Amino acid sequence: MSKPIITRAAVAAAAALGLAGSFYAGAAYAADPKLDAAHDNVAKAITLLQAAQNEGVKPPFGGHRAKAVRLLKRAQSEIGKAKHFADNPRPKRKKPPKKTK
């Protein structure tokens, strides 16, 4: 008898996750797809840099790899901000009316 309850709970959980996922996907892909590609490429670059080996050298790669990773993470943050701005542009300011004499 507990099997149908578990099945219903699993179906309800899957439905909730599906709705949440579709909402997130809509928000994530609203900006220019090139921003998503840039974010993915930066993530790949970070992964490759972190996997690079420089045996016996302290700090590895003279510290330049660590600095590159920090800067790439900062770039990811800026890409995220660009995506957010693309989805939520600031309203344009209205020019004040010209004063007449």
DSSP string, 50-95: HH---TT-SSGGGGHHHHHHHHHHHHHHHHHHHHHHHHSPPPPPPP
93 pLDDT higher than 80: no
Residues 54 and 37 in one domain: yes
- 38/65 same-domain check: yes
Which pTM was predicted?
A: 0.58
Mean pLDDT score of the chain: 81
Please tell me whether residues 14 and 44 are part of one structural domain. no
Mean pLDDT for the stretch of residues 55-72: 94
Instruction: Quote the domain boundaries for residue 4.
Output: 1-30
